[in-house]
Structure 1
Amino acid sequence: MSISLNEEVTPIEPDAALILDHLPGLVWTTDETGTISYCNSRFGEYAGIDFGLSHPSHWARVLHPDDAVFAVQYGQNARRTKRRRVINARLRRKDGEFRWFELAGSPLADDGRICWLATERRESANDRTQEDIEGGFRRFLNSLSLSALLISPGLELEFANQAALRWYGFLPESSAQEASADREPRKLDEILLPLKAYMEGEQTPVFSYQAQHADGTLRWLEAQVVPVIEKSGELTNYCVLQNDVQDSRDAAYLLGKEMEMLDMVARGTPSASVLQKLCNVVEDLIPDLFCCFLELSLDRKFFRMGAAPRLPSEFREIFDQKSVASDKNACSFAALTKKAVEIQNLLESDYRHTSMGQFMLANRLNYCHAIPILSPYGNTAGIFAILRHQYTELKPRERQIVDRAAHIAGISIDRTRHEEALVKRETQFKRSQAQLVAAQRISSTGSFTSDVQRDENIWSEEFYRIFDLDPEVEPSIDAVRERIHPEDLELFDVEMQRGLAGEGSDFVFRIIRTDASVRFIRGLAKVTHYIGDHPVFMGTVQDITETKRAEDAIRRSEEALLKAREELAYVSRAMTISALTTSIAHEVSQPLSGILANANACVRLLALDPPDIASAADTARRTIRDTMRATEVVKRLRAMFKRQSPTMEDIDLNEIAREVIALSARDMRERSIVLESRLASGLPSVRGDRIQLQQVILNLVLNGIEAMAEIEGWPRRLLVLTSREEDMLTLSIVDAGVGIAADSAERLFEPFFTTKRNGMGIGLSVSRSIIENHGGHMWATPNDGPGTTVAFSIPRSPPLAQSV
């Protein structure tokens, strides 16, 4: 190693330099910065100084790294106090070997220069032993992993081990060989006050205090003071052992806060309060960090603000009750993907265009780390966001704090979500219960669960009300049985026996309430499950009294309506027959006239002499024929006018159509109506009442005749058709009358609707009712030309069962 002199310093006088070169020690001088300004030849030879170089060198470079800081500090103390200082230190020889020297530093003038004299240690055996002891003690302290300081009774630092040098920043963390002697050592003033208090008896040997770490942060140290006393009993210095307890204090602080927050969670404190406290803890332990917590709604579609104590209110407006997918910022992306999003430089990121990015830039925040908080089911429950002005990698301790904070937040949010889900389910359950009670009350339906064999029952509120039982009554079969109508007790007992056998039931019975009113009840029960070998029933009881009364009223109404229809049908028949009075009179008078003429002829033939017996017999036969003809006409008329219940029989539709045509033929001839019948052959029979179906056909024929009564300009023509389509037989009456409008076709069948001048509007209505009672239907349609077609279809008679 070579050291040069500073040429700007005034050179030493030759005689003085000669004297200094012959001194039995090493001599050099330093300026106030510690740079060598002069050294004698012995120092140059020992240290390998090159006088030909002009680059200034700091004198600490020839010191052992373990002694450099203290030697420099002692020189500064000598310069400051203007008093001579003596220390022991190791100097490097030019071959690299270190040897112990006693260094005496004496201030030269007010300009800060110091003259150093180093003499090699070659004292007595006792002194040598003490030196060895001191050196061994210091080497021992250097081997410790905790910081160790030796401080004189005058509160001056004499020694610091390598752990202390690294902690305070005097040695690089990566080097244990080279001291940072290029800069003035930091004063260790933080320990002096508690040490002085200890020396004055006001402080225990173990105490805590804060000191500035090499990274510039204040950290808590725990110190233990041990006085160092020589054999003579003299106190030489104090050994201060220091332990950095900041991490343990933070861990204990965090653990205490965790326990406090977990207690809040256990007591049901709202998650917003827990997250607020959690933010305060994290920001207290990591001061340059802003943190916030966002919660997600139960459906994970919306954000809810959890806590962001140090962020402006604008941050809340960005997220609170906003859609997770509305703004593609870091928090939204983390929530959607369930992956952490880290933005180290927002200015160079696409996220700067989002509302969150604009907020961060406005508040000079350039770093964001969004961490998803997952539920136990793997879904995103919340977001833990860390914001900073600039990117700084989290230290292990800080990473642990963040991870533990996220864990606590997850517990709190998950508990809140479970409570919300529980409240929602309870609300839905209560609403469902209220709806069920209301529905049971509205429908008069009670429900029950019953183990019939054990007589263990659960009844609904409506069940009690239906049976008029006190809600305090213990549910039992006997309590219900007391309400059963005496005439229905046997039926009830039979159903209970079926229940004991594990069979369901569905029956109607009567009960007698306390006000003596009788109510009709429908009971329905089915086996839902078994407890051991015991069937458990669930079922309903419904008060159907009003329904029964309504059914009775409907039945009575239907009977009255049927009677009214029969009356109306009879009136319709009477009106129809009255319209045929002339034709009927002609039909009856014709055979009567024949009978009278034949009788007179028979008398004349018998009066001849001799009597014409053969001719008289023929005349008598004609008389019998005409009598039978008149009798048949009267029989038909009597049947149509007779009020009797419908008689269902197999009927030939063509046959009854011909009979009606025969009754109305004279009327059509007098009105110049051409009758045409197209009756399909081979038609099967229909099942119906002969008189009613004749009434319908006759009514349709008369309507057709009346529709053509006043027309002129085209032929009056009436067509009667029968046909078959699958199992339905159809009869159609086609007239060439005035016709109907298309929108009036359906109204023709409404009661009291008529297009006739003097009509009552009941004929077609009654006819349709008759056809519908026969399982058919009736309709009317306007023809393409003049007139209207009215038709009906009824089913054929069911075929007889084939005998095997």
Structure 2
Amino acid sequence: MSMSLDEDAVTYGANDGLGILNSLPGLVWTTDEAGTLRYVNTRFIDFTGLMNDQGESWQLASFLHPDDQLVTVRAQKDAQQGGVQLVAARFRRRDGQFILLNLSVSPMNGPGGDVCWLAIDRLETIDNPISNADRDFRNFLDSLSLQALLLTPTLELDFANHAAWRWYSSSGVPQDRRANFNLGKLEEIAFQLQAGQNRNEPAVVSYQALSADGTLRWLEAHVTPIREQNGELAGYCVLQTDVQDSRDSSHLLGHEMEILEMVARGAPSASVLQRLCDVVADLVPDLVCGFLELSLDRKLFRMGAASSLAGEFREIFDGKSVISDKNPCSTAALTKRTVEIATMAECDQHDTLMGEMMLANALHYCKAIPILSPYGNTAGILIILRHQQADFRPREQQIVDRAKHIAAISIDRTRHEEALLKRETQVERSQAQLVAAQRISSTGSFTSDIQRDENIWSEEFYRIFDLDPELKPSIDAVRERVHPEDLELFDFEMKRGFAGEDADFVFRIIRTDETLRFIRGLARITHYIGDHPVFMGTVQDITETRRAEDALRRGEEALAKAREELAYVSRVMTISALTTSIAHEVSQPLSGILANASACVRLLALDPPNIASATDTARRTIRDTMRATEVIKRLRAMFNRQSPAMETIDLNEIAREVIALSARDMREKLIVLEARLAPELPPITGDRIQLQQVILNMVLNGIEAMAETEERPRRLLVRTALASEDMITLSISDAGVGIAPDAPEKMFEPFFTTKRNGMGIGLSISRSIVENHGGRMWAMSNDGPGATVAFSLPSIEEKCV
């Protein structure tokens, strides 16, 4: 289907990079297989006077001389089938004259059978000599970027354009190109033409030749026979292109596909890196290539691969710390920057293991390129070593860059696999540890959607409830194990779970062997599926704990009873030590009672009776009786084994009562008692009898400590004080033998004593009583002779807080 000659079919300007075609010294156009114009450059428009204001399609034949139309049709078909064709035809100029043009017809890539036409302008009329056309055609070839050569039928060089001279020779283009061009450079083309191969048909020849810079490179030449109008061979047109880079790219691409397939198949990174080393060494001469990987924690090097010297690389780097040796690879790994050393012998790293290895192999140039992970961390190092410093050509740089890119992909995949394997191992180890921990602690775990009765149980959960591991988890399966007396509690907690409330309760189960076990169930809501709460929780077999707690409770009760018995014994022994004082305290009021009673009888026997004096005497009798009764009452309480009774107590008051009981004993032993009781002390809460026992024990210890003191006064000081806003202190200081340096704490140990007949339980019991009241008790040496024993108790105000 032909296209109209509109802006979609014919482009006039320089848009899309077509300005190059507009600048050529010739006419350029393209036609489809039907001969319809699809593109024309500006020179074609200027030459033909083509107008595009009618919106119609244009045929090439409309611009040709009628006698030359058949020639151009044949050239177009031959171009579509066999390559470039060179013909001559007459074109109608805008003034109506026909001008002879030399035409080159080339097939275009892609579907449709389009061809491209090239022609020269500035020709004269048909009567002009052909030499002018030939001259202008050669000018046209000089404007091309591809290499163009014209050969005679005898294969002598007739013409080489500028591009060909620049490729073959670094010198300028000489005047006589034929005399200065060595046809030996075209040996492969000449060989094929001399052998008669394709002499009459277009041919494509690939061969290697030395370029101007001395490197051997591949060229692809399109050789087309040129014929006169009578069909005789006029020569050959050779259009050739340097295809070394494209061949290398294709070669590299093929290797890339192969190596990427290795990566995709999961080949070990060492195999992938070794293949990369081989490819780089094959494509880039005078080069030693190597790869190092870094461990997951980026602390150690791991040998990747090397094109040579693999053993020496392995010895230097494999398993070694990144920071163990200052070398280019370590520096690149740590800084994430490329490190380049032009001459190792002149570098301060020449005495490192890597420097010694390089110099031993006559390698002086080094380049260490970091290979970064997608997260920006160093994952590996690409090492390039050369005998001498040499800059990479663009092609070589492309090869190195591609190798680095593929290495990064392979190393990253390997690191991900290692990390995944490590995580899987950690998960397996964690799961094993969890199972072991659950078994040791008798704790099972579960996840449950109670409303849907969808449950997941751990192995230990099944074992605790004595259920078959193949049994589908369900609430009913657990409920069947619950003790009948605890079913109501279990059902109540399930209802709370239905309502979306957490649970923490203890219930009993009966296993298949009819053993009774105590279970603690704990569940918390972790998330919701729709409006259904999902619980995660634990069940723990606390049977042994409950048994241990019961045993401990019974032991504590027995211990408390033993302590009470021991305290009672201690109290009896303490009071026994005050027998004389107690007897005096009782006998005094009894003597007063007897005397008062006798006086009352005499006063009543008088005539008349002395009622007033008898009444006063009777009052004194009552007073003494009450006094004796209080003493006996206090003694009876101290001898009684009653349970502790907590009450509000005035510490000063109970201190005075104890002082009264022991006052006579102190007087007989020539001890001076001084009481410094702080006024308005806040009350405390405690057991009166137990605290009196503590104070009495402290007083008797002070008396006994001064029993053998002769050289100084025997003084006993009893003090109370408000130690802080919430603590009250009572202390008793003596002037006795004092305390040994290591004794202050030992004094409170059970059965420790320095007395000849002592049991060593008084202070131990006293400290226990004080600590049970929330206080503390201690002892210390005085600045002078003697020692001080004290205790502190919290006031009622502090307890209220």
TM-score interval for Structure 1 and Structure 2 normalised by the shorter chain = 0.7 to 0.9
CA contact (8 A) 1:170 1:181 kept: no
What does residue 755 of structure 1 align with?
754
CA contact (8 A) 2:150 2:160 kept: no
User: What is the Cα deviation at residue 441 of structure 1?
Assistant: 2.7
User: What is the Cα deviation at residue 280 of structure 1?
Assistant: 0.8
Any stretches of 5+ residues in structure 1 without a counterpart? 1-127
Give 1:698's match in structure 2, choosing from 696, 699, 702.
Answer: 696
CA distance in structure 1 between the partners assigned to 2:616 and 2:167 by the alignment: 160
Q: Which amino acid aligns with 2:727?
A: M
What does residue 789 of structure 1 align with?
788
- What secondary structure is seen at the aligned counterpart in 2 of 1:667? helix
- What secondary structure is seen at the aligned counterpart in 2 of 1:745? helix
User: What is the Cα deviation at residue 505 of structure 1?
Assistant: 2.1
Q: Which amino acid aligns with 2:735?
A: A
User: What is the Cα deviation at residue 603 of structure 1?
Assistant: 6.3
What does residue 773 of structure 2 align with?
774
- What secondary structure is seen at the aligned counterpart in 2 of 1:793? strand
CA contact (8 A) 1:190 1:211 kept: no
What does residue 261 of structure 1 align with?
259
CA contact (8 A) 1:450 1:457 kept: yes
Give 2:510's match in structure 1, choosing from 509, 512, 535.
Answer: 512
CA distance in structure 1 between the partners assigned to 2:265 and 2:220 by the alignment: 36
- What secondary structure is seen at the aligned counterpart in 1 of 2:494? helix
- What secondary structure is seen at the aligned counterpart in 2 of 1:742? coil
| Deviates most, 671-680 or 131-140 | 131-140
What does residue 633 of structure 2 align with?
635
What does residue 501 of structure 1 align with?
499
CA distance in structure 2 between the partners assigned to 1:399 and 1:160 by the alignment: 38
CA distance in structure 2 between the partners assigned to 1:172 and 1:620 by the alignment: 152
Output aligned runs, 1:367-378, within 5 Å.
367-378=365-376
Give 1:543's match in structure 2, choosing from 541, 548, 552.
Answer: 541
Output aligned runs, 1:329-368, within 5 Å.
329-344=327-342, 356-368=354-366
CA contact (8 A) 2:291 2:383 kept: yes
CA distance in structure 2 between the partners assigned to 1:160 and 1:397 by the alignment: 33
CA distance in structure 2 between the partners assigned to 1:567 and 1:184 by the alignment: 129
Q: Deviations over 1:48-88 (max 9, x none)?
A: xxxxxxxxxxxxxxxxxxxxxxxxxxxxxxxxxxxxxxxxx
Give 1:492's match in structure 2, choosing from 487, 490, 493.
Answer: 490
What does residue 422 of structure 1 align with?
420
Q: Which amino acid aligns with 1:653?
A: L
Identity of aligned residues (%): 73
- What secondary structure is seen at the aligned counterpart in 1 of 2:452? coil
What does residue 723 of structure 1 align with?
721
Q: Deviations over 1:489-524 (max 9, x none)?
A: 222222222222222222222222222222222222
CA distance in structure 2 between the partners assigned to 1:263 and 1:567 by the alignment: 89
Question: Using a 3 Å threshold, how does the CA distance of structure 1 residues 176 and 257 change in structure 2: closer, same or farther?
Answer: farther
Output aligned runs, 1:213-228, within 5 Å.
213=211, 215-221=213-219
Give 1:686's match in structure 2, choosing from 679, 684, 687.
Answer: 684
Q: Deviations over 1:140-177 (max 9, x none)?
A: 9987935668597xxx8533752699489754476375
User: What is the Cα deviation at residue 681 of structure 1?
Assistant: 2.3
CA contact (8 A) 1:226 1:240 kept: yes
CA contact (8 A) 2:156 2:183 kept: no
CA contact (8 A) 1:742 1:781 kept: no
- What secondary structure is seen at the aligned counterpart in 1 of 2:750? coil
What does residue 652 of structure 2 align with?
654
User: What is the Cα deviation at residue 775 of structure 1?
Assistant: 1.6
Q: Which has the larger radius of gyration?
A: 1
CA contact (8 A) 1:168 1:212 kept: no
Output aligned runs, 1:525-544, within 5 Å.
525-544=523-542
Question: Using a 3 Å threshold, how does the CA distance of structure 1 residues 610 and 750 change in structure 2: closer, same or farther?
Answer: same
What does residue 145 of structure 1 align with?
146
Question: Using a 3 Å threshold, how does the CA distance of structure 1 residues 630 and 400 change in structure 2: closer, same or farther?
Answer: closer
Question: Using a 3 Å threshold, how does the CA distance of structure 1 residues 145 and 169 change in structure 2: closer, same or farther?
Answer: closer
User: What is the Cα deviation at residue 773 of structure 1?
Assistant: 1.5
- What secondary structure is seen at the aligned counterpart in 2 of 1:263? helix
What does residue 742 of structure 2 align with?
743
Question: Using a 3 Å threshold, how does the CA distance of structure 1 residues 157 and 784 change in structure 2: closer, same or farther?
Answer: same
CA contact (8 A) 2:146 2:240 kept: no
Q: Deviations over 1:225-262 (max 9, x none)?
A: 77889999999988887665443332222112111111
- What secondary structure is seen at the aligned counterpart in 2 of 1:548? helix
Any stretches of 5+ residues in structure 2 without a counterpart? 1-127
- What secondary structure is seen at the aligned counterpart in 2 of 1:364? coil
Q: Which amino acid aligns with 1:669?
A: R
| Deviates most, 361-370 or 544-553 | 361-370
CA distance in structure 2 between the partners assigned to 1:160 and 1:388 by the alignment: 44
Output aligned runs, 1:101-250, within 5 Å.
145=146, 157-159=155-157, 162=160, 166=164, 171-172=169-170, 175=173, 177=175, 179=177, 186=184, 210-213=208-211, 215-221=213-219, 244-250=242-248
CA distance in structure 1 between the partners assigned to 2:485 and 2:132 by the alignment: 122
Aligned length in residues: 670
CA distance in structure 2 between the partners assigned to 1:466 and 1:635 by the alignment: 60
CA contact (8 A) 2:654 2:692 kept: yes
The answer to whether 1:521 aligns with 2:519 is yes
CA contact (8 A) 1:733 1:791 kept: yes
CA contact (8 A) 2:189 2:205 kept: no
CA distance in structure 2 between the partners assigned to 1:228 and 1:615 by the alignment: 174
TM-score with structure 1 setting the length: 0.73
CA contact (8 A) 1:141 1:161 kept: no
- What secondary structure is seen at the aligned counterpart in 1 of 2:757? coil
CA contact (8 A) 1:707 1:738 kept: yes
CA distance in structure 1 between the partners assigned to 2:601 and 2:656 by the alignment: 37
CA distance in structure 2 between the partners assigned to 1:682 and 1:240 by the alignment: 127
CA distance in structure 2 between the partners assigned to 1:379 and 1:560 by the alignment: 67
Q: Which amino acid aligns with 2:265?
A: R
Q: Which amino acid aligns with 1:428?
A: Q
CA contact (8 A) 1:170 1:179 kept: no
CA contact (8 A) 1:198 1:205 kept: no
CA contact (8 A) 1:209 1:221 kept: yes
| Deviates most, 433-442 or 673-682 | 433-442
Give 2:584's match in structure 1, choosing from 583, 586, 607.
Answer: 586
Q: Deviations over 1:198-231 (max 9, x none)?
A: 7599xx9766555555544444455677788999
Q: Which amino acid aligns with 1:736?
A: A
User: What is the Cα deviation at residue 756 of structure 1?
Assistant: 0.4
User: What is the Cα deviation at residue 275 of structure 1?
Assistant: 1.2
Q: Which amino acid aligns with 2:760?
A: G
CA contact (8 A) 1:660 1:694 kept: yes
CA contact (8 A) 1:449 1:457 kept: yes
CA distance in structure 2 between the partners assigned to 1:165 and 1:600 by the alignment: 159
Question: Using a 3 Å threshold, how does the CA distance of structure 1 residues 323 and 540 change in structure 2: closer, same or farther?
Answer: same
What does residue 307 of structure 2 align with?
309
Q: Deviations over 1:23-43 (max 9, x none)?
A: xxxxxxxxxxxxxxxxxxxxx
Q: Which amino acid aligns with 1:758?
A: N
Q: Which amino acid aligns with 1:303?
A: F
What does residue 708 of structure 2 align with?
710
What does residue 388 of structure 2 align with?
390
- What secondary structure is seen at the aligned counterpart in 2 of 1:749? coil
CA contact (8 A) 2:162 2:173 kept: no
